[in-house]
Amino acid sequence: MPLNRPIGQDRWLLAFTTLSAIFFILLAAFVRLQILQSSEFRLRSEQNRVRMVSIPAPRGLILDRRGGVLAENIPQYEVALDWTIWKGDGPALDTLAAYLDRSRGWIEGRVSRSPDWRVRPVVVAKGADFGVVSRLEEHRRYFPGLRIQPRPARRYPYGQALAHVLGYVGEISGPELAKPQWTSYRAGDEMGKAGVEGAWQEVLRGKAGVKYVEVDAAGREVGLLRGQPIRQPVPGQPLVLTLDLDLQLEAARSFPKDLAGAVVAMDPRTGDLLAMYSQPTFDPNLLVGGLDRATWERQTRDPARPLFNRAVQALYPPGSAFKPVTAMAALNLGIVDFQTPGPRVCSGGMRFGRRYFRCWKAEGHGLLTLTDAIAQSCDVFFYQLGIGMGLERFLAQVSQLGLDRPTGLDLPQEVGGIVPTSTGWFDRRYGSRGWGRGVVLNLAIGQGEISLSPLHLAYFYSAIAGDGRPVPPRLVRGEGRPEVGLWRLAPEHVAGLREALDRAVNAPKGTARWLTVRYPHLDLAGKTGTAENPHGPDHGWFVGYGPRESPQIVVAAVVEFGVHGSTSAAPLVARLIDYYLNGQSPVRIPRIAATAEGE
Amino acid sequence: MRGITVQAVWRGPKDRLLLGVVLGLSVMGLFLIYSATQPAEGGAHVVLVLRQVEGLGLAVLLAVLLWALPLRLLEQLAPLIYAGAIALLVLTLISEEGDGARRWLSLGSGQIQTSELAKLATILLLARVLARRKTPGETLASLITPLGLALVPAALVILQPDLGTAAVYLALLGGMLFWAGVPLSRLFFLVSPLFCLALAFSLPLWAAFIGLLVVVILRARPYLWESAAVLVVNLALGTLAQPLWDTLRPYQQQRVLTFLRPDLDPQGAGWQLIQSKVAIGSGGLWGKGFLEGTQTRLAFLPEEHTDFIFSVAGEEFGFIGVTIFLGLFFLLLTRVLNVARDAENPFARLVSFGVLTLWLTHVVVNVGMVVGLVPVVGLPLPFLSFGRSFLVACFLGLALLQRSYLERWQPYGLGRS
Are the C-beta atoms of A462 and A488 separated by less than 8 Å?
no
Among partner residues B135, B279, B326, which is closest to A26 by beta-carbon distance? B326
Sort out which chain A residues have CB atoms less than 8 A from B319's CB and list them: 30-31, 34-35
Among partner residues A7, A8, A29, which is closest to B373 by beta-carbon distance? A29
Q: Strands, E, within A363-472: which ranges?
A: none
Instruction: Tell me if A30 and B323 make a contact (CB, 8 A cut-off).
Output: yes
Looking at residues B107-112, what average pLDDT do you find? 68
| Cα–Cα dist B332/B383, whole Å | 12
| Cα–Cα dist B204/A542, whole Å | 94
Please report which residue ranges of A263-412 form alpha helices under DSSP H.
284-287, 293-301, 323-333, 370-376, 379-389, 391-400
CB within 8 Å of A14: residues ≥ 6 apart: none
In this structure, are strands A168-171 and A190-193 parallel, antiparallel, or unpaired? Answer: antiparallel
Which residue, among A527, A584, A598, A533, has the nearest Cα to A560 in the 3D structure?
A533
Which residue, among A590, A581, A495, has the nearest Cα to A545 in the 3D structure?
A581
Which residue, among A215, A213, A212, A211, has the nearest Cα to A232 in the 3D structure?
A211
- Whether A492 and chain B come into contact, CB under 8 Å, resolves to no
| Cα–Cα dist B370/B304, whole Å | 11
| Cα–Cα dist B361/A22, whole Å | 11
| Cα–Cα dist A581/A555, whole Å | 12
In chain A, which residue's Cα lies nearest the Cα of B271?
A217
| Cα–Cα dist A152/A539, whole Å | 43
In angstroms, the Cα distances linking B265 to A16, A114, B198, B260, B262 are: 37, 20, 21, 11, 6
Sort out which chain B residues have CB atoms less than 8 A from A28's CB and list them: none
Instruction: Tell me if B181 and A11 make a contact (CB, 8 A cut-off).
Output: yes
Instruction: Tell me if B300 and A48 make a contact (CB, 8 A cut-off).
Output: yes
Highest mean pLDDT of the ranges A233-242, B227-236, B369-378 = A233-242
In chain B, which residue's Cα lies nearest the Cα of A45?
B278
Which 3 state secondary structure label does DSSP give A418? strand
In this structure, are strands A209-215 and A221-224 parallel, antiparallel, or unpaired? Answer: antiparallel
pLDDT per position in chain A (599 positions), as tens? 344 444 567 888 999 999 999 999 999 999 988 888 888 777 777 776 776 677 778 899 999 999 999 999 988 887 877 776 666 567 777 788 888 877 778 777 777 776 666 666 777 777 777 888 888 877 776 776 777 777 788 899 998 899 999 988 887 776 777 676 776 676 667 788 888 998 888 889 888 777 777 776 655 666 776 666 777 888 889 999 999 999 999 999 999 888 889 999 999 998 899 999 998 888 888 877 655 666 677 777 777 778 888 999 889 999 999 999 999 999 999 888 888 887 888 888 888 888 888 888 888 888 888 999 999 999 999 999 999 998 999 999 998 888 888 887 878 788 888 888 888 888 888 888 888 888 888 999 998 889 999 999 999 999 999 888 888 888 887 655 556 567 888 888 999 999 999 999 999 988 889 889 999 999 999 999 888 877 777 888 999 998 999 999 999 999 987 665 567 899 999 999 999 999 888 888 887 654 433 33
Which 3 state secondary structure label does DSSP give B221? coil
In chain B, which residue's Cα lies nearest the Cα of A26?
B368
Q: Name which of B334, B366, B371, B381 to mutate to probe chain A: the one with the most chain A Cβ atoms within 10 A of its Cβ.
A: B371
pLDDT at A245: 95
Could you tell me the pLDDT band of residue B304, with boundaries at 50, 70 and 90? confident
Q: How far apart are the first and last CA of chain A?
A: 130
Sort out which chain B residues have CB atoms less than 8 A from A116's CB and list them: none
| Cα–Cα dist A43/B350, whole Å | 48
Burial class (CB in 10 A: 0-12, 13-18, 19+), A456: buried
- Whether B267 and chain A come into contact, CB under 8 Å, resolves to yes
Are the C-beta atoms of B376 and B272 separated by less than 8 Å?
yes
Residue-level length of chain B: 417
Sort out which chain A residues have CB atoms less than 8 A from B281's CB and list them: 33-34, 37-38, 40-42, 44-45
Are the C-beta atoms of B307 and B379 separated by less than 8 Å?
yes
pLDDT digits (tens, 9 = 90+) for B139-156: 777 788 888 889 999 988
Sort out which chain B residues have CB atoms less than 8 A from A216's CB and list them: 40, 298-300
In angstroms, the Cα distances linking A109 to A104, A123, A567, B287 are: 8, 12, 55, 45
Q: How far is A261 from chain B (nearest CA, A)?
A: 59
List, in sequence order, every residue forming a beta bridge with A357; answer none if it has no partner.
A350
In chain A, helix, strand, coil percent, each to 5?
A: 40, 20, 45
| Cα–Cα dist A543/A559, whole Å | 12
Are the C-beta atoms of B150 and B173 separated by less than 8 Å?
yes
In angstroms, the Cα distances linking A8 to A14, A15, A174, B409 are: 10, 11, 75, 17
- Whether B347 and chain A come into contact, CB under 8 Å, resolves to no
Among partner residues B179, B275, B319, which is closest to A30 by beta-carbon distance? B319
Q: Give a three-class secondary structure readout of B349-397.
A: HHHHHHHHHHHHHHHHHHHHHHHCCCCCCCCCCCCCCCCHHHHHHHHHH
**A32-41 per-residue burial string, b: 16 or more CB within 10 A, e: under 16:** ebbeebbeeb
Among partner residues A34, A42, A217, which is closest to B300 by beta-carbon distance? A217
Instruction: Tell me if A45 and B179 make a contact (CB, 8 A cut-off).
Output: no
Q: How far is B67 from chain A (nearest CA, A)?
A: 24
In chain A, which residue's Cα lies nearest the Cα of B268?
A118
pLDDT at B5: 63
pTM of the model: 0.59
| Cα–Cα dist B60/B54, whole Å | 10
| Phi, psi dihedral angles at B227 (to 5 degrees) | -60, -45
pLDDT at A566: 64
- Whether B275 and chain A come into contact, CB under 8 Å, resolves to yes
Q: How far is B244 from chain A (nearest CA, A)?
A: 34
Please report which residue ranges of B200-268 form alpha helices under DSSP H.
203-220, 224-247, 250-260
- Whether B317 and chain A come into contact, CB under 8 Å, resolves to no
- Whether A40 and chain B come into contact, CB under 8 Å, resolves to yes
**B32-54 per-residue burial string, b: 16 or more CB within 10 A, e: under 16:** bbbbbbbebeeeeeeebbebbee
Instruction: Tell me if B371 and A38 make a contact (CB, 8 A cut-off).
Output: no
Q: Name which of B37, B328, B341, B358 to mutate to probe chain A: the one with the most chain A Cβ atoms within 10 A of its Cβ.
A: B341
CB atoms within 10 A of CB B384: 27
pLDDT digits (tens, 9 = 90+) for B116-134: 889 999 999 999 988 887 7
ipTM: 0.88
Sort out which chain B residues have CB atoms less than 8 A from A1's CB and list them: 134
DSSP state of A225: P
Are the C-beta atoms of A59 and A205 separated by less than 8 Å?
yes
In chain B, which residue's Cα lies nearest the Cα of A12?
B341
CB within 8 Å of B216: residues ≥ 6 apart: B185, B188, B189
In this structure, are strands A77-81 and A122-128 parallel, antiparallel, or unpaired? Answer: antiparallel
Are the C-beta atoms of A159 and A182 separated by less than 8 Å?
no
- Whether A222 and chain B come into contact, CB under 8 Å, resolves to yes
In chain A, which residue's Cα lies nearest the Cα of B336?
A16
| Phi, psi dihedral angles at B105 (to 5 degrees) | -125, 130
Which 3 state secondary structure label does DSSP give B270? helix
| Cα–Cα dist B298/B36, whole Å | 10
Are the C-beta atoms of A559 and A540 separated by less than 8 Å?
yes
pLDDT at A558: 92
Question: Packing angle between helix A391-400 and helix A379-389, nearest 10 degrees?
Answer: 100
Q: How far apart are the first and last CA of chain B?
A: 15
| Mean residue pLDDT across chain B | 81
**More confident of the two residues B17 and B7:** B17
Which range has the worst mean pLDDT, A451-465, B79-93, B181-195? B181-195
In angstroms, the Cα distances linking A301 to A194, A280, B185, B218 are: 17, 13, 83, 87
Are the C-beta atoms of A166 and A197 separated by less than 8 Å?
yes
Instruction: Tell me if A34 and B285 make a contact (CB, 8 A cut-off).
Output: yes
Instruction: Tell me if A37 and B281 make a contact (CB, 8 A cut-off).
Output: yes
